[in-house]
Structure 1
Amino acid sequence: MKLIDSILTEAAGIAAIRRDIHAHPELCFEEVRTADVVAARLTDWGIPIRRGLGTTGVVGIVHGRDGGACGRAIGLRADMDALPMTELNTFGHASRHHGKMHACGHDGHTAMLLAAAQHLAKHRNFDGTVYLIFQPAEEGGGGAREMIKDGLFKQFPMDAVYGMHNWPGLPVGGFALSSGPVMASSNEFHITIHGKGAHAALPHNGIDPVPVACQMVQAFQTIITRNKKPVDAGVISVTMIHTGEATNVVPDSCEIQGTVRTFTYEVLDLIERRMQEIAQHTAAAFGATVDFKFKRNYPPTVNHAAETAFARRVLQDIVGPEGVLNQEPTMGAEDFAYMLQEKPGCYLFIGNGDGAHRGSYEGGGHDAGPCTLHNPHYDFNDDLIPLGATFWVRLVEDWFAQAKPGGAA
């Protein structure tokens, strides 16, 4: 593993920043303190900044030896927000804000990019410009979309953009990436079935929305098994059914909610259309009516081939070919997708290990709970900081050393 010595030297200090951010988690569009920490460090290192894009976003600007005269630029993105959940760890840097937790490692993503920023600003071993994108509100707020709306790519024109996420279960020292779809679109539905309330002992006097809901939920799965091509990926998950207030009352209405995930808009269009048709006609068959709402949230995250191949070559030089795996697409979603719709780039994964790093904390502070994403026992592995930062730096240096951005496909 070829780590940069100066990054290793500063790793403990950056880890302390990471743990400070972890102890003070902030939810989407509320990352004021976190943005202050990022802005202060960048300013200390002589990096000009721009604040306020996407409400609380921070962009750092690092010019190379040529002062950016060549006109080429690359963007590196890290997310900053936490999740609305309660942390169950009790180590020294555990969340101090009940109901808020860095359970997805965004504190670590921020730290890795800060470590790279410190080195890039000090050495500037490249010709061109690096834009350091510290993004708010990945967890459901669409912070990437909001930064773009506020002029991210117009104010900071760049040839490509890269993002990185930690991945529990993948060993430390390992990476995974693939071209094409790597994360799914995220969508949600809210269906209200309107029946007619009655005494449960006299159901013939009403229109019971509960059996309507049961038929509807079962029928939705035929979209996946009988309407969608078997080779196309798609998920319909009904996750909430709410109805009724008493055991002897047929309720007036029933609510169904859930999520839909796909890798393509063609499959998404099919699922939305068929769900609406099934909902309307099933309700009508029982004499009920229905309100159908379908909300499209994040688009699919689709990596570009040339930029992915370039990142793979950089990674292989750092950890060896055996440490760079193909990423199996996941039905999770990521708002970096918006950036990849605007610019060529790649979203890749860095191994966070199996959670054993938590045992090295002074005094312990965690139980046997799993160190998986969005879990109350999770914590980012600080051993990743020098490795992730080394990748960012080598990506920048090799990128600008290429005759053509992205290199050969």
Structure 2
Amino acid sequence: MKLIESILADAPSITAIRRDLHKHPELCFHEERTADVIANALTAWGIPVHRGLGRTGVVGIVRNGSSDRAVGLRADIDALPITERNEFPHASSIRGRMHACGHDGHTAMLLAAAKHLATSRNFDGTVYLVFQPAEEGGGGAREMIKDGLFEKFPMEAMFGAHNWPGLKAGQFAVKTGPVFASSNEFKITLKGKGSHAAMPHLGVDPVPAACQLVTAFQTIISRNKRPLDPGVISVTMIHAGEATNVVPDSVVMEGTVRTFTLELLDLLARRMRDMTEQLAGAFELTAEFEFRRNYPPTINHPAESDFVRRVLIDMVGDDNVQEFEPTMGAEDFSYYLLDKPGCYFLIGNGDGEHRTGGHGLGPCMLHNPSYDFNDDLIPLGGSMWVQLAEQWLNTPKP
């Protein structure tokens, strides 16, 4: 395993930053203190900083030589609205907020790389260090792009990584093509006519229609799409009624839809709308159908994925670079990949043995109240970012 000595030496101080961020989590678009910590560290290392893209985003600029080539490295910085169950000293100090996805660790790994890049400058070109807010549902990547990220900081490619519990520390996973699904939400309101539950014939009951609609949606998955195309429709909330002896006059259904392609997403959304409207008509109801497209699918570019794989194999060996098994979860790094070539990959976080005394019950999984980032990854992740940036800029442009 090829780790950079200066990053190993700095690991305790970077770990202290990581644990400070973990103790003071901030939710999407409210990462003011977090952005201050990042900007202050970069400035102390002589790295120029630009702030304000995506409201609370921070971009560090490390230049060297005369080349106009540039590459972007991204870390997300926001926390989740979860109450932490851990009780170790760096556990969240704010009830209802927690770094349960490791964005504090992603930030720490990129900061470790930033310090070394600023000191060594063993490259010809520019490295843009993108510290992005609001990955957890806010679309911070989209907002940074809207605010001119790629115009202000023109780059050839963009790279990002996420820690992955269950994948051994010291291992990575990479894949060309779709790796995270699109994330979309729907809300359906079926309106009928309320009545006494003893006299349902005097009303128009929307509940049976809602029950049939839940089942009907699954026939879209099993009968309308190709079996080889992954897709998920999940009805996750149904709200109706206020009393046991009253037939409600409306039902509200909500949930998510996930696909790896926009073409399949178009099909599912169209069929869901058609089923809702036609089934409502058959039950003498009226229907309102809302469909909100959130994150697009994350689709890695072939050349950039191959480049990442080569760099990682050189670092940790072929046996420790696995094939990324795609997940139906979503990731807003997808927005960058719509505009720029790049790759989003995984770094193993282990199984939770790294957690010190005081951690809560349950596995060390993402979005779990007992999660904590594995600080042993900081030297590995920092070295990874340095080698990716240096090799990209020091290799002839593809």
SS state at 1:255 partner: strand
Quick one: distance in 1 between partners of 2:199 and 2:165? 54
User: For the Cα contact (< 8 Å) 2:11–2:378, is it kept in 1?
Assistant: yes
1:246 aligns with 2:243: yes
Q: 1:292 aligns with which of 289, 294, 301?
A: 289
Q: 1:220 aligns with which of 209, 217, 221?
A: 217
CA-CA distance at 1:401 after TM superposition: 1.8
1:6-405 equivalences under 5 Å are 6-64=6-64, 66=65, 69-358=66-355, 361=356, 364-405=357-398
Note the C-alpha offset of 1:90: 0.5
Q: Which runs of 4+ in 1 moved over 4 A?
A: none
Aligned residues with identical type, % of pairs: 69
Query: Partners in 2 of 1:86 and 1:115 — Cα distance?
Result: 28
Deviates more, 1:394-403 or 1:82-91: 394-403
Displacement after TM superposition at 1:145 (Å)? 0.3
CA distance in 1, matches of 2:182, 2:115: 34
Q: Distance in 1 between matches of 2:21 and 2:124?
A: 32
- Distance in 2, Cα, partners of 1:367 & 1:156: 42
TM-superposed deviation, 1:27 = 0.2
- CA distance in structure 2 between the partners assigned to 1:238 and 1:400 by the alignment: 47
State the AA in 2 paired with 1:39: A
Separation in 2, partners of 1:124, 1:172: 28
> Deviation of residue 79 (structure 1)?
0.2
Q: Distance in 2 between matches of 1:286 and 1:138?
A: 41
- Ranges in structure 2 where 5+ consecutive residues have no aligned partner: none
Contact 2:186 2:291 in 1 (8 A): yes
Deviations 1:105-153 (A, max 9, x none): 0000000000000000000000000000000000000000000000000
Count of residues paired in the alignment: 398
Unpaired runs of 5+ in structure 1?
none
Superposition deviation, residue 368 in structure 1: 3.4
Letter in 1 for 2:123: F
Give TM-score scaled by structure 2 length.
Answer: 0.99
Kept in 1, the 8 Å contact 2:360–2:369? The answer is: no
Q: Shift in Å at residue 404 of structure 1?
A: 1.9
Distance 1:201 1:288 in 2: 20
| TM-score normalised by the chain length of structure 1 | 0.97
Residue 366 of structure 2 aligns to a residue whose secondary structure is: coil
Question: Which SS does the other structure have where 1:232 is aligned?
Answer: coil
SS at match of 2:75: strand
Q: Which amino acid aligns with 1:268?
A: L
The amino acid of 1:106's aligned partner reads H
How far apart in 1 are the matches of 2:359 and 2:323? 32
Kept in 1, the 8 Å contact 2:161–2:344? The answer is: yes
Amino acid in structure 1 at the alignment position of 2:234:
S
- After superposition, the C-alpha distances for 1:56-78 in whole angstroms (9 at most, x for unaligned) are 000000012x1xx2100000000
Q: Any idea what SS the aligned residue of 2:55 has?
A: coil
Tell me, in whole angstroms, the C-alpha distance in 1 between the residues paired with 2:267 and 2:389: 41
1:367 Cα deviation from its structure 2 partner: 3.4
Q: Secondary structure at the match of 2:97?
A: coil
Residue 80 of structure 1: how far off its partner (Å): 0.2
SS in structure 1 of the partner of residue 324 of structure 2 = coil
Query: Which secondary structure does the structure 2 equivalent of 1:352 belong to?
Result: strand
